[in-house]
Amino acid sequence: MSGLPSVAAVGLEPAWAHQDPVAIIVLFLATIVIGAKVGGDIASRLRQPTVLGELIIDIVVGNLTPAG
């Protein structure tokens, strides 16, 4: 107990707390789509099927949780 008031006690909230939840989901989905395109490009440069790179990136990014 440091004697300092906690953030909850003061009533301060993070800046993103009042944003539209739909915007967070759209941003997350856009991140997945852009990541899949980049993964597909990397796979094709490595002479692998494009869909392999897309799937790998989709699995990695899709398992992350959105910030909202």
Domain ranges for the chain, please list them.
26-68
Distance, first Cα to last Cα, the chain: 30
Summarised one tens digit per residue, pLDDT across range 37-68 is: 999 999 999 999 999 999 999 888 888 776 55
What whole-number distance in Å separates Cα of residue 39 and Cα of residue 31?
Answer: 12
Give me the DSSP letters along 1-68: --SPPPHHHHT---GGGGS-HHHHHHHHHHHHHHHHHHHHHHHHHTTS-HHHHHHHHHHHHHTSPP--
Residue 11 has pLDDT above 70, yes or no: no
pLDDT > 90: what percent of the chain? 35
| pTM (two decimals) | 0.63
